């Protein structure tokens, strides 16, 4: 190595102490926050090897990854990916810059021109517009079906079908799909299809988080998460992930490399250090509160209906009890609550909802009018005009989204405080 003192101070300020052999990850209790777009290569040969092994699976025996460029791989991102795979009981995970980038990759690795997707009728608004605008423009056909009736999609399957895409509990209605019922139909169909014509199941598990639902256990091939929500948990960072079996790892890494939606290592660090480590604590607290709020709303005279899988009145109670389980096997209905207000017509109910949410925006302390979910703060929003506005008003009604539906993402505040703010706002609109 050249001697530092032979170089000018300005040059030395660039190199400084930034490079040290003194520590490695093994010395840290908390992993270092890495922020290096490129990596020191010991030789041209090693750089070349780094490029040629992109997407290779880390084999457990003495894995020595060659980091070349942060879009292709980074040590903190690898640690987060391992944690996400553990959380979903999957073989591997690949992270992305946002949940939408993860959705794109999760379906993108299976599609080519002329491929077809069968999608649940009610999915996240941007997923809907990704499928019906951008993928459609590339010659991908999308069919919609009500997958909560598992046999409903069978007639839509043809030789071009590549992906069955589902979300359960659905955003925002919290209607559930029986995952095993869907995957067993796919498995049966795949038995008589060639290797190129296999159908893959992809699920968006953002609403549940792996703490309350682990779809791989129910036969799903690929899980998508927006890490921005319950997994990050603090509302500080965006991110996405795909969790699946090793056979799709390379394709996902290559997709990320070329479309370029890599997660920032700084965000990965927050999600790893603060988010995923506190997942169980936060969700347990949030869902205990969510149940109390759902019960409070159900008993309130201004409320028309409440959908929360933890309520006795939840229409798919048996499915909820079977599918929503924490790691200890206990029933875990989650932190999302959906409700509608009374009104002479759906339009009245919608107007009442707007009045309620505007009152909350101006007057509440423990509830905030904002999209997103899974944060420390309780957030309220109107899916019909916000998160799900990609669906036309008519499509919303056809697909079971009530024009006045209100979505509440419960945080970690004291339940009494959230109920106090709701009660005051409900009194205001009932005047």
Ligand X SMILES: *Cc1c(COP(=O)(O)O)cnc(C)c1O
Q: Does 98 bind ligand X (CB under 6 A)?
A: yes
**Binding test (CB under 6 A) with ligand X, winner from 39, 67, 124, 248:** 124
Closest approach, Cβ 303 to ligand X, in A, equals: 24
Q: Which among 49, 46, 68, 71 has a CA at the least distance from the CA of 253?
A: 71
CB of 103 to ligand X, least distance (A): 6
Nearest CA to 230 out of 373, 24, 31 is that of: 373
Nearest position to ligand X, beta carbon: 99
Q: Min. distance of Cβ 205 from ligand X in angstroms?
A: 8
Query: Which of 50, 73, 75, 99: binder of ligand X (CB under 6 A)?
Result: 99
Token pair in block for residue 398? 């056809």
- Output 130 or 360, the one with its CB closest to ligand X: 130
Instruction: Pick between residue 118 and residue 263 the one whose CB is nearest to ligand X.
Output: 263
Q: Which of 238/283 has CB closer to ligand X? A: 238
Nearer to ligand X, 229 or 285 (CB): 229
**What sign does the dihedral 191-193-197-202 (CA atoms) show?**
negative
Part of the chain binding ligand X (CB under 6 A), chosen from 96-104, 158-166, 331-339, 351-359: 96-104
Pick the stretch among 51-59, 98-106, 147-155, 395-403 that binds ligand X (CB under 6 A).
Answer: 98-106
Nearest distance from C-beta of residue 111 to ligand X, angstroms? 18
Tell me, residue by residue from 143 to 172, as one string, x for binding to ligand X by CB under 6 A and - for no binding.
Answer: ----------------------------x-
Q: Which is nearer to ligand X, 72 or 166 (CB)?
A: 166
> What contacts 194, CB < 8 A, 6 or more positions away?
none
State how far the alpha carbon of 334 is from the alpha carbons of 69, 90, 282, 382, 409, in Å: 38, 21, 10, 19, 10
Is residue 233 left, alpha or beta, with left meaning phi > 0 and alpha meaning psi from -120 to 50?
Answer: left
Does the CA dihedral 173-81-96-32 come out positive or negative?
A: positive
> How many whole angstroms separate alpha carbon 24 and alpha carbon 46?
20
Q: Cβ contacts of residue 417 below 8 Å, gap of 6+?
A: 365, 366
Tell which positions 291-320 bind ligand X, by CB under 6 A. Answer: none
Nearer to ligand X, 171 or 349 (CB): 171
Instruction: Indicate the residue among 171 and 396 with the shorter CB distance to ligand X.
Output: 171
Helix (H) or strand (E) holding 95: strand 92-96
Query: Does 262 help bind ligand X (rule: CB under 6 A)?
Result: no
Closest CB 13 distance from ligand X, rounded Å: 38
Closer to ligand X by Cβ: residue 230 or 353: 230
Q: Cβ(379)–Cβ(368) under 8 Å?
A: yes
* DSSP H or E run through 210: helix 209-212
70-to-197, 203, 261, 318 alpha-carbon distances in Å: 34, 28, 11, 46
**Residue 206 tokens, joined:** 């953002």
Candidates 209, 167, 172; CA nearest to 339 is: 172
Inter-residue contact 186 to 199 (CB < 8 Å): yes
**Size of interface with ligand X, in residues (CB under 6 A):** 15
Among 92, 100, 279, 366, binds ligand X (CB under 6 A): 100
Q: Among residue numbers 199 through 258, which ones bind ligand X (CB under 6 A)?
A: 204, 206-207, 226, 228-229, 238, 240
Which residues between 354 and 383 bind ligand X (CB under 6 A)?
Answer: none
Smallest distance from ligand X to CB 206, Å:
4
* Contacting ligand X within 19-48 (CB under 6 A): none
Nearest CB to ligand X, comparing residues 229 and 350: 229
Query: Measured from the CB atom, is 85 or 261 closer to ligand X?
Result: 261
State in angstroms the smallest separation of the CB of 362 from ligand X. 26
Separation in Å, CA 9 to CA 2, 3, 19, 40: 15, 13, 16, 22
* Cα gap 424→289, rounded to integer Å: 18
Residue ranges in contact with ligand X by CB under 6 A: 98-100, 124, 126-127, 171, 204, 206-207, 226, 228-229, 238, 240
């Amino acid at each position: 190595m050249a001697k530092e003192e032979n170089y000018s101070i300005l040059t030395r300020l660039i190199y400084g102490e930034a490079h040290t052999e003194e520590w490695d990850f093994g010395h840290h209790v908390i992993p270092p926050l890495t922020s290096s777009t490129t990596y020191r290569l010991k030789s041209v040969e090693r750089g070349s090897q780094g490029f040629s092994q992109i997407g290779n699976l880390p084999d457990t025996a003495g894995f020595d990854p060659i980091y070349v460029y942060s879009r292709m791989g980074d040590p903190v991102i690898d640690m987060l990916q391992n944690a996400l795979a553990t959380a979903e009981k999957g073989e591997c995970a690949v992270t992305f810059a946002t949940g939408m980038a993860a959705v794109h990759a999760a379906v993108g690795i299976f599609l080519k021109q002329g491929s077809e997707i069968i999608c649940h009728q009610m999915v996240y608004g941007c997923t809907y517009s990704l499928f019906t605008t951008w993928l459609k423009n590339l010659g991908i056909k999308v069919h919609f079906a009500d997958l909560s009736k598992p046999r409903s999609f069978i007639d839509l399957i043809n030789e071009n079908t590549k992906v069955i895409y589902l979300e359960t509990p659905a955003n925002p209605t919290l209607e559930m799909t029986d995952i095993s019922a869907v995957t067993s139909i796919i498995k049966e169909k795949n038995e008589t299809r060639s290797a190129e014509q296999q159908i893959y199941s992809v699920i968006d598990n953002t609403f549940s988080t792996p703490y309350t639902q682990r779809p791989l256990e129910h036969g799903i091939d690929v899980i998508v998460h927006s890490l921005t929500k319950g997994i990050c948990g603090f509302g500080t960072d965006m991110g996405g992930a795909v969790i699946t079996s090793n056979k799709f790892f390379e394709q996902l890494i290559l997709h990320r490399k070329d479309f370029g939606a890599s997660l920032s290592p700084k965000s990965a660090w927050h999600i790893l250090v603060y988010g995923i480590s506190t997942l169980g604590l936060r969700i347990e607290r949030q869902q205990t509160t969510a149940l109390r709020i759902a019960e409070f709303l159900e008993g309130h005279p201004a409320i028309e209906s409440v959908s929360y899988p933890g309520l006795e009145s939840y229409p798919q109670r048996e499915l909820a009890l079977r599918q929503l389980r924490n790691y200890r096997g206990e029933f875990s209905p989650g932190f999302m609550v959906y409700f509608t207000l009374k009104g002479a017509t759906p339009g009245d109910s919608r107007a009442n909802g707007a009045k309620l949410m505007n009152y909350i925006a101006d007057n509440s302390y423990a509830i905030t009018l904002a999209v997103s979910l899974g944060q420390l703060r309780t957030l309220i929003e109107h899916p019909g005009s916000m998160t799900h506005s990609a669906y036309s008003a008519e499509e919303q009604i056809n697909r079971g989204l009530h024009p006045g539906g209100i979505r509440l993402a419960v945080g970690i505040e004291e339940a009494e405080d959230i109920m106090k703010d709701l009660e005051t706002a409900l009194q205001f609109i009932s005047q």
